[in-house]
Amino acid sequence: MNPISSAQTILRAVYAPASPQAVGAASTAPGALADDKVSHTTRISQAGRALSRHGQGAQASSAQGSTIEALREALLERIRQLQEQLARKQQELAALAVAAAVLGGLASSRLQNVLVKQEKVAVDVGADSDAFAQVGMFTVNAIVSPGVDPALVAKRLDEIVADLAKNGPTADEVQRVLTTAVSQRISGLEKVGGFGGKAVALAEGELYSDDPGFYKKQLAALAAQTPQTVREAARKWLERPAYTLTVLPGERDRYAEAEAKAPLPVAAAATPPIKVKGTRGPIPPTGAVADLAFPRVERTRLANGIELIYANRTTVPITRGVLSFDAGTAADVADKLGTQTLTLAMIDEGTRALDSIHLAEAKERLGLDISTGSSADRTTLSFRAPSALASALRSTRLA
Protein backbone atom coordinates (compact mmCIF):
# COMPACT_ATOMS: atom_id res chain seq x y z
CA MET A 1 0.00 0.00 0.00
CA ASN A 2 1.40 3.40 -0.92
CA PRO A 3 2.06 6.08 1.77
CA ILE A 4 -0.77 8.36 0.57
CA SER A 5 -3.35 5.59 0.89
CA SER A 6 -2.01 4.72 4.35
CA ALA A 7 -2.29 8.33 5.48
CA GLN A 8 -5.87 8.64 4.20
CA THR A 9 -6.92 5.49 6.03
CA ILE A 10 -5.46 6.66 9.33
CA LEU A 11 -6.90 10.18 9.06
CA ARG A 12 -10.33 8.76 8.28
CA ALA A 13 -10.07 6.60 11.41
CA VAL A 14 -9.39 9.67 13.54
CA TYR A 15 -11.54 12.39 12.00
CA ALA A 16 -14.45 10.55 10.39
CA PRO A 17 -17.73 10.81 12.35
CA ALA A 18 -17.94 8.23 15.09
CA SER A 19 -20.71 5.67 15.05
CA PRO A 20 -24.06 6.78 16.53
CA GLN A 21 -23.63 4.26 19.33
CA ALA A 22 -20.26 5.71 20.34
CA VAL A 23 -21.39 9.34 20.31
CA GLY A 24 -24.67 8.73 22.08
CA ALA A 25 -23.45 6.26 24.66
CA ALA A 26 -22.04 8.89 26.98
CA SER A 27 -21.02 12.50 26.93
CA THR A 28 -18.50 14.71 28.57
CA ALA A 29 -18.94 16.53 31.82
CA PRO A 30 -21.88 18.96 31.67
CA GLY A 31 -21.07 21.85 29.41
CA ALA A 32 -18.05 20.58 27.49
CA LEU A 33 -18.62 23.35 25.01
CA ALA A 34 -17.92 21.47 21.79
CA ASP A 35 -15.94 18.22 22.03
CA ASP A 36 -17.30 14.80 22.89
CA LYS A 37 -14.87 12.88 25.08
CA VAL A 38 -16.31 9.50 24.18
CA SER A 39 -16.13 10.12 20.42
CA HIS A 40 -12.55 11.35 20.76
CA THR A 41 -11.65 8.25 22.74
CA THR A 42 -13.27 6.05 20.13
CA ARG A 43 -11.42 7.76 17.30
CA ILE A 44 -8.13 7.58 19.14
CA SER A 45 -8.66 3.83 19.61
CA GLN A 46 -9.46 3.45 15.93
CA ALA A 47 -6.34 5.40 15.04
CA GLY A 48 -4.26 3.09 17.23
CA ARG A 49 -5.58 0.03 15.43
CA ALA A 50 -4.96 1.66 12.04
CA LEU A 51 -1.42 2.57 13.04
CA SER A 52 -0.79 -1.00 14.16
CA ARG A 53 -2.05 -2.50 10.89
CA HIS A 54 -0.17 -0.10 8.67
CA GLY A 55 2.90 -0.19 10.85
CA GLN A 56 3.21 -3.92 10.18
CA GLY A 57 2.91 -3.44 6.44
CA ALA A 58 5.34 -0.54 6.46
CA GLN A 59 8.29 -2.71 7.36
CA ALA A 60 8.76 -3.56 3.67
CA SER A 61 9.42 0.03 2.72
CA SER A 62 11.60 2.48 4.61
CA ALA A 63 9.99 5.42 2.81
CA GLN A 64 6.53 4.25 3.74
CA GLY A 65 7.72 3.59 7.28
CA SER A 66 8.99 7.15 7.57
CA THR A 67 5.62 8.46 6.42
CA ILE A 68 3.73 6.30 8.90
CA GLU A 69 6.02 7.35 11.75
CA ALA A 70 5.52 11.03 10.89
CA LEU A 71 1.76 10.54 10.84
CA ARG A 72 1.94 8.69 14.14
CA GLU A 73 3.78 11.56 15.79
CA ALA A 74 1.31 14.06 14.32
CA LEU A 75 -1.66 12.07 15.59
CA LEU A 76 -0.17 11.67 19.06
CA GLU A 77 0.38 15.43 19.18
CA ARG A 78 -3.24 15.97 18.15
CA ILE A 79 -4.37 13.61 20.92
CA ARG A 80 -2.37 15.60 23.47
CA GLN A 81 -3.94 18.82 22.17
CA LEU A 82 -7.46 17.40 22.52
CA GLN A 83 -6.76 16.30 26.09
CA GLU A 84 -5.44 19.76 26.93
CA GLN A 85 -8.52 21.37 25.33
CA LEU A 86 -10.86 19.24 27.43
CA ALA A 87 -8.95 20.15 30.60
CA ARG A 88 -9.03 23.86 29.71
CA LYS A 89 -12.76 23.74 29.04
CA GLN A 90 -13.41 22.19 32.44
CA GLN A 91 -11.45 25.04 33.99
CA GLU A 92 -13.39 27.57 31.90
CA LEU A 93 -16.69 26.09 33.05
CA ALA A 94 -15.60 26.46 36.67
CA ALA A 95 -14.46 30.02 36.01
CA LEU A 96 -17.81 30.91 34.38
CA ALA A 97 -19.67 29.39 37.34
CA VAL A 98 -17.71 31.72 39.64
CA ALA A 99 -18.42 34.68 37.34
CA ALA A 100 -22.17 33.92 37.41
CA ALA A 101 -22.17 33.72 41.21
CA VAL A 102 -20.31 37.03 41.51
CA LEU A 103 -22.79 38.67 39.13
CA GLY A 104 -26.06 37.30 40.43
CA GLY A 105 -25.69 34.10 42.45
CA LEU A 106 -24.50 35.32 45.82
CA ALA A 107 -26.74 37.15 48.27
CA SER A 108 -24.15 39.93 47.99
CA SER A 109 -23.84 39.70 44.20
CA ARG A 110 -23.04 42.78 42.15
CA LEU A 111 -26.42 42.86 40.42
CA GLN A 112 -28.22 42.46 43.74
CA ASN A 113 -26.21 45.17 45.46
CA VAL A 114 -26.35 47.72 42.63
CA LEU A 115 -29.70 47.25 40.89
CA VAL A 116 -31.88 46.07 43.79
CA LYS A 117 -30.43 47.55 46.98
CA GLN A 118 -28.65 50.71 45.85
CA GLU A 119 -30.31 52.02 42.66
CA LYS A 120 -33.63 50.21 43.30
CA VAL A 121 -34.35 49.85 39.56
CA ALA A 122 -35.04 46.11 39.84
CA VAL A 123 -36.87 43.93 42.35
CA ASP A 124 -35.05 40.70 41.50
CA VAL A 125 -31.91 39.74 39.56
CA GLY A 126 -29.96 36.63 38.73
CA ALA A 127 -27.12 35.15 36.71
CA ASP A 128 -26.43 31.54 35.89
CA SER A 129 -23.95 29.45 33.92
CA ASP A 130 -25.77 26.37 32.61
CA ALA A 131 -23.38 23.63 31.53
CA PHE A 132 -24.77 20.87 29.34
CA ALA A 133 -23.16 17.97 27.51
CA GLN A 134 -22.68 19.71 24.17
CA VAL A 135 -23.32 23.40 24.78
CA GLY A 136 -23.42 25.94 27.59
CA MET A 137 -25.54 29.04 28.24
CA PHE A 138 -24.67 32.05 30.38
CA THR A 139 -27.80 34.02 31.31
CA VAL A 140 -28.34 37.29 33.17
CA ASN A 141 -31.82 38.51 34.10
CA ALA A 142 -33.62 41.23 36.01
CA ILE A 143 -37.24 41.97 36.95
CA VAL A 144 -37.68 45.72 36.48
CA SER A 145 -39.18 47.81 39.28
CA PRO A 146 -42.60 49.36 38.50
CA GLY A 147 -42.26 52.66 36.65
CA VAL A 148 -38.65 52.09 35.59
CA ASP A 149 -37.65 52.06 31.92
CA PRO A 150 -36.53 48.51 30.95
CA ALA A 151 -33.99 50.02 28.55
CA LEU A 152 -32.26 51.67 31.52
CA VAL A 153 -32.04 48.38 33.41
CA ALA A 154 -30.77 46.58 30.29
CA LYS A 155 -28.08 49.24 29.89
CA ARG A 156 -27.01 48.88 33.53
CA LEU A 157 -26.94 45.09 33.17
CA ASP A 158 -24.59 45.39 30.21
CA GLU A 159 -22.36 47.84 32.10
CA ILE A 160 -22.03 45.62 35.17
CA VAL A 161 -21.27 42.54 33.05
CA ALA A 162 -18.74 44.53 31.01
CA ASP A 163 -17.02 45.73 34.18
CA LEU A 164 -16.62 42.17 35.44
CA ALA A 165 -15.21 41.06 32.08
CA LYS A 166 -12.78 43.99 32.01
CA ASN A 167 -11.55 44.04 35.60
CA GLY A 168 -12.49 40.62 36.94
CA PRO A 169 -13.73 39.81 40.45
CA THR A 170 -11.92 40.60 43.67
CA ALA A 171 -10.08 37.91 45.61
CA ASP A 172 -12.69 38.23 48.39
CA GLU A 173 -15.55 37.66 45.91
CA VAL A 174 -13.90 34.52 44.54
CA GLN A 175 -13.26 33.19 48.03
CA ARG A 176 -16.87 33.81 49.09
CA VAL A 177 -18.15 31.96 46.03
CA LEU A 178 -15.89 28.98 46.67
CA THR A 179 -16.71 28.78 50.38
CA THR A 180 -20.45 28.96 49.68
CA ALA A 181 -20.30 26.33 46.92
CA VAL A 182 -18.23 23.88 48.99
CA SER A 183 -20.47 24.35 52.02
CA GLN A 184 -23.61 23.63 49.98
CA ARG A 185 -22.10 20.58 48.29
CA ILE A 186 -20.82 19.01 51.52
CA SER A 187 -24.09 19.69 53.29
CA GLY A 188 -26.05 18.08 50.44
CA LEU A 189 -23.99 14.89 50.64
CA GLU A 190 -25.44 14.18 54.07
CA LYS A 191 -28.72 13.28 52.33
CA VAL A 192 -29.30 10.27 50.11
CA GLY A 193 -31.75 11.76 47.60
CA GLY A 194 -33.14 15.16 46.79
CA PHE A 195 -31.30 17.94 44.99
CA GLY A 196 -27.61 17.69 45.83
CA GLY A 197 -27.87 14.38 47.70
CA LYS A 198 -25.43 11.49 47.40
CA ALA A 199 -27.54 9.61 44.85
CA VAL A 200 -27.86 12.65 42.58
CA ALA A 201 -24.16 13.56 42.80
CA LEU A 202 -23.00 10.01 42.03
CA ALA A 203 -25.53 9.40 39.24
CA GLU A 204 -24.79 12.72 37.53
CA GLY A 205 -21.07 12.01 37.48
CA GLU A 206 -21.65 8.49 36.15
CA LEU A 207 -24.05 9.68 33.43
CA TYR A 208 -22.11 12.65 32.07
CA SER A 209 -18.50 11.75 32.81
CA ASP A 210 -18.38 7.99 33.41
CA ASP A 211 -17.09 8.83 36.90
CA PRO A 212 -19.34 8.70 40.01
CA GLY A 213 -16.78 10.75 41.91
CA PHE A 214 -16.72 13.53 39.33
CA TYR A 215 -18.12 16.00 41.87
CA LYS A 216 -14.72 15.92 43.58
CA LYS A 217 -13.06 17.04 40.34
CA GLN A 218 -15.65 19.81 40.02
CA LEU A 219 -14.83 21.03 43.52
CA ALA A 220 -11.10 20.87 42.72
CA ALA A 221 -11.68 22.91 39.55
CA LEU A 222 -13.57 25.52 41.57
CA ALA A 223 -10.85 25.63 44.22
CA ALA A 224 -8.27 26.36 41.50
CA GLN A 225 -10.03 29.54 40.38
CA THR A 226 -8.43 32.96 40.89
CA PRO A 227 -9.51 36.49 39.95
CA GLN A 228 -7.27 36.20 36.89
CA THR A 229 -8.76 32.92 35.60
CA VAL A 230 -12.30 34.23 36.09
CA ARG A 231 -11.49 37.47 34.30
CA GLU A 232 -9.97 35.61 31.34
CA ALA A 233 -13.02 33.35 30.97
CA ALA A 234 -15.39 36.32 31.31
CA ARG A 235 -13.47 38.23 28.63
CA LYS A 236 -13.54 35.28 26.28
CA TRP A 237 -17.24 34.49 26.59
CA LEU A 238 -19.08 37.53 28.00
CA GLU A 239 -17.67 40.09 25.58
CA ARG A 240 -19.32 38.31 22.66
CA PRO A 241 -22.66 39.49 21.19
CA ALA A 242 -25.60 38.34 23.32
CA TYR A 243 -29.27 37.70 22.69
CA THR A 244 -31.50 40.11 24.64
CA LEU A 245 -35.18 39.46 25.39
CA THR A 246 -37.47 42.00 27.05
CA VAL A 247 -40.92 40.86 28.22
CA LEU A 248 -43.35 43.74 28.80
CA PRO A 249 -46.66 43.57 30.71
CA GLY A 250 -49.91 44.37 28.92
CA GLU A 251 -52.57 42.90 26.72
CA ARG A 252 -51.66 39.92 24.59
CA ASP A 253 -53.12 38.60 21.36
CA ARG A 254 -55.20 35.53 21.88
CA TYR A 255 -53.38 32.30 21.23
CA ALA A 256 -54.87 30.20 18.47
CA GLU A 257 -54.70 27.12 20.64
CA ALA A 258 -56.80 28.88 23.30
CA GLU A 259 -59.92 28.30 21.19
CA ALA A 260 -60.84 24.78 22.18
CA LYS A 261 -62.65 22.70 19.62
CA ALA A 262 -64.72 19.61 20.27
CA PRO A 263 -62.65 16.55 19.47
CA LEU A 264 -63.80 14.38 16.59
CA PRO A 265 -65.18 10.99 17.60
CA VAL A 266 -62.63 8.24 17.26
CA ALA A 267 -63.64 4.63 16.95
CA ALA A 268 -61.99 2.50 19.57
CA ALA A 269 -59.64 0.02 17.95
CA ALA A 270 -59.57 -3.52 19.19
CA THR A 271 -56.49 -4.07 21.34
CA PRO A 272 -54.81 -7.39 20.62
CA PRO A 273 -53.72 -9.37 23.66
CA ILE A 274 -50.15 -8.77 24.73
CA LYS A 275 -47.99 -11.85 24.59
CA VAL A 276 -45.58 -12.05 27.48
CA LYS A 277 -42.25 -13.63 26.70
CA GLY A 278 -40.34 -15.39 29.42
CA THR A 279 -40.62 -14.64 33.11
CA ARG A 280 -38.93 -12.28 35.52
CA GLY A 281 -38.65 -15.05 38.04
CA PRO A 282 -39.60 -14.87 41.69
CA ILE A 283 -39.40 -11.62 43.61
CA PRO A 284 -36.09 -11.50 45.47
CA PRO A 285 -36.38 -11.90 49.24
CA THR A 286 -36.19 -8.89 51.48
CA GLY A 287 -32.80 -8.51 53.11
CA ALA A 288 -32.22 -7.92 56.77
CA VAL A 289 -32.84 -4.35 57.91
CA ALA A 290 -29.78 -2.90 59.58
CA ASP A 291 -30.13 -1.43 63.02
CA LEU A 292 -30.38 2.35 63.21
CA ALA A 293 -27.38 4.02 64.81
CA PHE A 294 -28.54 7.04 66.78
CA PRO A 295 -25.99 9.58 67.96
CA ARG A 296 -25.42 10.08 71.65
CA VAL A 297 -27.52 12.98 72.91
CA GLU A 298 -26.13 15.34 75.54
CA ARG A 299 -28.14 17.93 77.47
CA THR A 300 -27.19 20.94 79.52
CA ARG A 301 -28.61 24.34 80.43
CA LEU A 302 -27.02 27.71 79.70
CA ALA A 303 -26.66 30.50 82.26
CA ASN A 304 -29.67 32.30 80.76
CA GLY A 305 -31.86 29.24 81.30
CA ILE A 306 -31.97 27.99 77.70
CA GLU A 307 -31.79 24.21 77.43
CA LEU A 308 -29.06 22.99 75.04
CA ILE A 309 -29.41 19.60 73.34
CA TYR A 310 -26.34 18.35 71.45
CA ALA A 311 -25.98 15.34 69.15
CA ASN A 312 -22.72 14.54 67.39
CA ARG A 313 -22.71 12.88 63.95
CA THR A 314 -19.63 12.49 61.78
CA THR A 315 -21.25 11.75 58.40
CA VAL A 316 -20.16 15.08 56.94
CA PRO A 317 -18.13 17.94 58.50
CA ILE A 318 -21.12 20.27 58.88
CA THR A 319 -22.36 21.95 62.06
CA ARG A 320 -26.07 22.70 62.35
CA GLY A 321 -27.88 24.59 65.04
CA VAL A 322 -31.56 25.28 65.70
CA LEU A 323 -33.11 27.78 68.11
CA SER A 324 -36.70 26.78 68.88
CA PHE A 325 -39.15 29.24 70.46
CA ASP A 326 -42.44 28.32 72.09
CA ALA A 327 -44.55 30.77 70.09
CA GLY A 328 -45.81 31.04 66.51
CA THR A 329 -48.24 32.86 64.28
CA ALA A 330 -50.99 32.32 66.84
CA ALA A 331 -49.18 34.80 69.10
CA ASP A 332 -49.63 37.69 66.63
CA VAL A 333 -51.67 40.58 67.96
CA ALA A 334 -55.14 40.48 66.43
CA ASP A 335 -54.86 43.82 64.63
CA LYS A 336 -51.22 43.19 63.55
CA LEU A 337 -51.40 39.83 61.86
CA GLY A 338 -48.25 38.93 59.93
CA THR A 339 -45.85 40.42 62.50
CA GLN A 340 -44.06 37.11 63.07
CA THR A 341 -43.78 36.40 59.33
CA LEU A 342 -42.37 39.86 58.65
CA THR A 343 -39.91 39.52 61.53
CA LEU A 344 -38.55 36.23 60.19
CA ALA A 345 -38.28 37.67 56.67
CA MET A 346 -36.07 40.47 58.03
CA ILE A 347 -33.68 38.15 59.93
CA ASP A 348 -30.88 38.41 57.37
CA GLU A 349 -31.59 41.95 56.16
CA GLY A 350 -29.16 43.56 58.59
CA THR A 351 -28.25 44.00 62.26
CA ARG A 352 -27.22 46.87 64.50
CA ALA A 353 -23.62 46.37 63.38
CA LEU A 354 -24.02 45.30 59.72
CA ASP A 355 -26.31 46.32 56.87
CA SER A 356 -27.76 43.65 54.58
CA ILE A 357 -24.81 43.75 52.16
CA HIS A 358 -22.11 43.38 54.81
CA LEU A 359 -24.12 40.72 56.65
CA ALA A 360 -24.43 38.70 53.44
CA GLU A 361 -20.68 39.00 52.83
CA ALA A 362 -19.89 37.88 56.39
CA LYS A 363 -22.15 34.82 55.99
CA GLU A 364 -20.55 33.89 52.66
CA ARG A 365 -17.04 34.05 54.10
CA LEU A 366 -18.10 31.45 56.67
CA GLY A 367 -20.20 29.32 54.33
CA LEU A 368 -23.02 30.14 56.73
CA ASP A 369 -26.67 29.60 55.85
CA ILE A 370 -29.41 31.05 58.06
CA SER A 371 -33.02 29.93 57.69
CA THR A 372 -36.27 30.27 59.59
CA GLY A 373 -39.42 28.22 60.07
CA SER A 374 -42.75 28.66 61.80
CA SER A 375 -46.08 27.11 62.60
CA ALA A 376 -49.03 28.24 64.64
CA ASP A 377 -47.25 27.46 67.95
CA ARG A 378 -43.53 27.25 67.16
CA THR A 379 -40.80 29.43 65.61
CA THR A 380 -37.36 28.16 64.64
CA LEU A 381 -34.14 29.89 63.63
CA SER A 382 -31.55 27.57 62.05
CA PHE A 383 -27.99 27.86 60.83
CA ARG A 384 -25.61 25.59 58.92
CA ALA A 385 -21.86 26.03 58.39
CA PRO A 386 -18.78 23.89 57.70
CA SER A 387 -17.46 22.59 61.01
CA ALA A 388 -13.97 23.91 60.21
CA LEU A 389 -15.41 27.45 60.07
CA ALA A 390 -18.16 27.13 62.69
CA SER A 391 -15.72 28.03 65.47
CA ALA A 392 -15.07 31.32 63.71
CA LEU A 393 -18.67 32.32 64.46
CA ARG A 394 -17.59 33.03 68.03
CA SER A 395 -15.16 35.75 66.92
CA THR A 396 -17.34 37.12 64.08
CA ARG A 397 -19.61 39.95 65.13
CA LEU A 398 -22.88 39.73 63.26
CA ALA A 399 -25.24 41.41 65.71
The domains located in the chain, with CATH, are 3-87 (no CATH), 91-238 (3.30.830.10), 304-395 (3.30.830.10)
Q: How do strand 307-311 and strand 122-131 relate by DSSP bridges?
A: unpaired
Residue bearing the bigger pLDDT, 108 or 47:
108
Whether 56 shows a pLDDT value over 60: the answer reads: no
Q: Torsion-angle region of residue 250: left (phi > 0), alpha (psi -120 to 50) or beta?
A: left
Quick one: pLDDT at residue 136?
85
* pLDDT value of residue 88: 62
pLDDT class for 180, splitting at 50, 70, 90? very high
DSSP 8-state secondary structure symbol assigned to residue 114: I
Buried-state track 86-102, b at ≥16 Cβ within 10 A, e below 16 = beebbbbbbbbbbbbbb
Average pLDDT, the chain: 79
| pLDDT single digits (tens) 297-341 | 999 999 999 999 999 988 888 889 999 999 888 888 889 898 889
Strand order in the sheet with 379-386: 318-325, 379-386, 369-374
Q: What is the pTM for the complete model shown?
A: 0.68
Mean pLDDT of 185-201: 84
Q: Give me the numbers of helices (H) and strands (E) for the chain, helices first please.
A: 13, 7
Per-residue pLDDT at 183 exceeds 60: yes
pLDDT, mean of residues 278-287:
77
Instruction: Indicate whether 12 pLDDT > 70.
Output: no
Angle between helices 37-57 and 3-15 (to 10 degrees): 160
Q: Model confidence at 160, in pLDDT bands (50, 70, 90)?
A: very high
Distance CA 203, CA 62 (A): 51
Give the Å distances, CA to CA, from 208 to 50, 132, 214.
Answer: 29, 9, 9
The span from the CA of 13 to the CA of 7, in Å, is 10
Smallest CA-to-CA distance from 214 within 23, 398, 31, 360 is with 31
Task: Quote the CA–CA distance of 342 and 356 in Å, as a whole number.
Answer: 16
Nearest to 123 by CA among 132, 131, 134, 115: 115
Q: Which residue has the higher pLDDT, 150 or 1?
A: 150
Percent of the chain surpassing pLDDT 70: 76
Confidence at 272, pLDDT banded by 50, 70, 90: confident
pLDDT of residue 188 exceeding 80, the answer is: yes
List the alpha helices (DSSP H) in the chain: 3-15, 20-25, 37-57, 62-100, 110-111, 150-167, 171-188, 198-209, 214-223, 227-238, 339-345, 356-366, 387-390
Decide if 370 contacts 347 (C-beta within 8 A). Answer: yes
